[in-house]
Amino acid sequence: MGVKKDTAMKTIPLNLFLLLAICIFIGGMVGGILLCGQVAHKGIGSSGEFSQEDRLASQIKKLTKLLESEPQNVEAWTQLGNFYFDSDKYEKAIEAYQKALSLAPNNPDVWTDLGIMYRSARMPEKALEAFDRAISIDAKHANARFNRGIVLMHDLKQEEAAIKVWEELSNISPTFETADGTHIDEVILYYKTKQDEKNRTVSK
């Protein structure tokens, strides 16, 4: 019995610029990447009489049971990681993604989601390693590049390096948009403007 892999991006219906401004102050907080970043898998929705929490718990239980008899099932480990991801259970998601990658190490989407979980668990250096691994597998992996910039900007406070990463992303994928439809060039312009304002304030 297998589990179908779904690597579509999750839509986050919030205004990016408001979130970007907030993230300048809370970039290092747990879960910040979920507000600012791009996710490589599609989340489970809620409908009917069951809440999303109930549905996630049910899916986690089913997959955990399945993996007892099929421990080499890569797709099941990946999906389990996705459900833990959506449940904000960072450590468990990391463990599941690591298991999936130990069996099939060349999936850039899984490396990207692993990086997001590392950032959520306040391990930005590990997050960068995961994003770099995704990019080494797929040099045009837009989500990995975008999230790499998020970590550099908000966690490591390397503003110029982050902008450079996003400029490279713009060159590689000129039509790239964030989850709410904001073009990458608008993100770059926003942060360049913030950086210019900061430099003018310092020079006074």
pLDDT tens for residues 67-106?
Answer: 999 999 999 999 999 999 999 999 999 999 999 999 999 9
Confidence band of 40 (pLDDT split at 50, 70, 90): confident
Enter the tokens of residue 94. 């990391």
CATH superfamily of this structure's domain 16-203: Tetratricopeptide repeat domain (1.25.40.10)
- Ranking 48-57, 105-114, 123-132, 169-178 by mean pLDDT, the lowest is 48-57
pLDDT tens for residues 132-176?
Answer: 999 999 999 999 999 999 999 999 999 999 999 999 999 999 999
Residue 43, pLDDT score = 63
Enter the tokens of residue 202. 């310092």
pLDDT at 48 over 60: no
Q: What is the mean pLDDT of residues 62-70?
A: 97
Q: List phi, psi (to 5°) of 177.
A: -130, 150
CB 176 within 8 A of CB 184: yes
Q: What is the mean pLDDT of residues 22-34?
A: 39
Domain ranges of the chain: 16-203
Please, which residues have CB within 8 angstroms of residue 199's CB and are 6 or more apart in sequence? none
